[in-house]
């Protein structure tokens, strides 16, 4: 896809390369999204210094990527493409334990270079629709501003980039709790009515 080159935004120790596809109008600034990526990568213990790519796209691009990368039909809201193995990141609640670490995080790089952690691709179109239709938030039942939904998706995608996966229930709950903390969302009542 052609268009403007990525904006390089520095949030030491991170460089966030933000690409906005032609015709995509994000409801929040690239600088604010870079802040979100940086805070999330730091909270996840990502190896630093590093570069993270953030691409703001539309449903058409996400549908194509979803089909080619995941084998699923139709658009999705966010996809992450990590470049480092899981053992490059610190363990987190619920994550499968790695038995033979490759210690990719400790790999020595030449001076003044940064490792690439990968890319996050978000459909701004889908984020806006989900927020407006009350299908946003972590539970898919929240009506809020499109900027808030976009920040949630960027946070979620960054955690995936850093090895988090919500397929396991324990890890999924830990992931949602970290997202709530990073976004300043209220913590739901954890008392069971059983």
Beta strands, E only, 44-139: 50-57, 78-82, 115-123
The model's pLDDT over 46-67, given as tens digits with 9 standing for 90+, comes to 999 999 999 999 999 999 999 9
- Eight-state DSSP code of residue 53: E
Cβ-contact 121, 66 below 8 angstroms: no
Residue 111's pLDDT band (boundaries 50, 70, 90)?
low
Domain boundaries, the chain: 7-183
Task: Tell me what pLDDT residue 29 has.
Answer: 97
| CATH superfamily label, 7-183 | Metalloproteases ("zincins"), catalytic domain (3.40.390.30)
- The DSSP secondary structure of 55-68, one letter per residue, reads EEE-HHHHHHHIII
pTM value? 0.87
The region of weakest confidence among 5-19, 29-43, 177-191 is: 177-191
Cβ-contact 93, 174 below 8 angstroms: yes
- Give which of 8, 19, 82 is closest to 56, Cα–Cα: 19
């Amino acid at each position: 896809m052609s268009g403007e080159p990525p904006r390089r935004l520095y949030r030491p120790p991170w460089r966030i390369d933000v690409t906005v596809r032609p015709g995509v109008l994000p409801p929040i600034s690239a600088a604010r999204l870079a802040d979100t990526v940086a805070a999330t990568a730091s909270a996840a213990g990502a190896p630093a210094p590093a570069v993270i790519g953030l691409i703001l796209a539309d449903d058409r691009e996400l549908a194509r990527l979803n089909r080619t990368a995941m084998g699923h039909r139709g658009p999705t809201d966010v996809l992450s493409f990590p470049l480092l193995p899981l053992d490059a990141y610190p363990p987190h609640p619920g994550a499968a334990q790695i038995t033979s670490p490759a210690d990719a995080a400790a790999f020595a790089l030449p001076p003044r270079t940064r490792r690439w952690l990968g890319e996050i691709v978000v459909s701004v179109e889908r984020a806006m629709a989900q927020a407006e239709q009350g299908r946003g938030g972590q539970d898919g039942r929240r009506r809020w501003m499109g900027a808030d939904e976009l920040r949630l998706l960027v946070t979620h995608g960054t955690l995936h980039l850093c090895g988090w996966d919500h397929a396991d229930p324990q890890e999924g709950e830990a992931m949602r709790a970290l997202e709530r903390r990073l976004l300043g969302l209220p913590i739901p009542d954890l008392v069971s009515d059983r």
